[in-house]
Copies of this chain bind each other. A is one copy, B any other.
Amino acid sequence: MTMARIRRTDGTDGVLPGRFDPADTDKWRTALTCIEPNKILVRGYPLDEIMGRLTFGETIYLLLMGEVPSPSIGSLMEAILVSFIDHGATPPSTLAARNTATTGAPLRACVAAGVLGFGRFHGGDIESCMQFLDAGLELVRGGVTYKDAAFTLLQKYFDSEEPIPGFGHRFHTRDPRAARLFQIALELEVEGGHIQMIRAVELTINELPDGRHLPVNIDGAIAAVCGDIGIPPAVANALFIISRVPGITAQALEERNRERPMRQIDPKDHLYDGAGQRRVPDKRR
């Protein structure tokens, strides 16, 4: 019996102070961006060459995943990032940003407050949905049909208060973003097992005698698509944060521009007075 493997409670390991720790004399390493005088390489590519050649969405993929995405995966990245960009004035993260803005705080403080509100119940669903789908796919690999795997996955939610990861929405009975993301994945031919699995789960829920429809939400759709294109859960979670920052920023700017300082913000008590519904121009490139 030895205590040699005991690690300190702060996560560092148990070398006593004063002892020589060779790890400390080594340089630490980064593989993201190389900075030299007058040169910036992002994952090996000169940043000034990336400018004008890759879109922001493609460069985000490059930075997070290490390689330039294929055209299909690049298009899917844009769609994923766009899908989450804003959801109006009522999400708690947006309200945290607006409540910060009304105190006269600088824009970056408002954005930070908003980002902190991507908590367990808000955006945190992508990672748990990926695990949920992976559990189903393991059953499928073991010889079970998607349908049966879905029924098995749902089993433990029948008499539980637990939400089904990736299903249901506060406002929407059918999430238009999820449907569109699946359609784009189909068109780009990147659909794989995760999308099949989540569809099997949705079908199974909707066939239950209870008769209630519980739609795939955008978290679920992103989880399934990310699973199929090989984006790991931690990166999928990062995409969620990145995609919503523009929305939070726009909401904080609007709060500063349109409202009086130190107001009491009732989320339910607002009206939309922006542009009426219009058609998106055709793709230009």
Quick check: is A109 within 8 A (CB to CB) of the other chain? yes
Q: How far is the CB of A29 from chain B (nearest CB, A)?
A: 5
CB-based contact A51/B82 at 8 Å: yes
8 A Cβ contacts from A248-266 to B = 249-251, 253-254, 256-266
Of B2, B17, B27, the residue contacting A37 (CB under 8 A) is B17
Interface size on A, residues (CB 8 A): 179
Point out the residues of chain B lying under 8 angstroms from A100, CB to CB.
Answer: 92-93, 96, 113, 116-117, 119
CB-based contact A48/B253 at 8 Å: no
The 7 A-B residue pairs whose C-beta atoms are closest, nearest first, are: A104-B120, A103-B119, A44-B275, A31-B274, A11-B261, A105-B119, A8-B168
CB-based contact A247/B115 at 8 Å: no
CB-based contact B260/A235 at 8 Å: no
Quick check: is A279 within 8 A (CB to CB) of the other chain? yes
Q: How far is the CB of A69 from chain B (nearest CB, A)?
A: 10
Q: How far is the CB of A75 from chain B (nearest CB, A)?
A: 7
Instruction: Please judge, given known A-B contacts A31-B273, A107-B234, whether A42 and B85 are in contact too, CB under 8 Å.
Output: yes
Quick check: is A33 within 8 A (CB to CB) of the other chain? yes
CB-based contact B174/A11 at 8 Å: no
CB-based contact B121/A11 at 8 Å: yes
Point out the residues of chain B lying under 8 angstroms from A52, CB to CB.
Answer: 75, 78-79, 180, 184, 187, 283
User: Considering only CB atoms, which chain B residue lies closest to A274 in the complex?
Assistant: B31
8 A Cβ contacts from A163-201 to B = 163-177, 179-181, 184, 187
Quick one: CB contact mask for A147-158 with B, threshold 8 Å, 1 for yes? 000000000011
Docked complex Cα distance between A6 and B212 (Å): 10
Q: Which of A51, A71, A77, A282: most chain B Cβ within 10 A?
A: A51
Q: How far is the CB of A271 from chain B (nearest CB, A)?
A: 5
CB-based contact A174/B38 at 8 Å: yes
Docked complex Cα distance between A275 and B249 (Å): 33
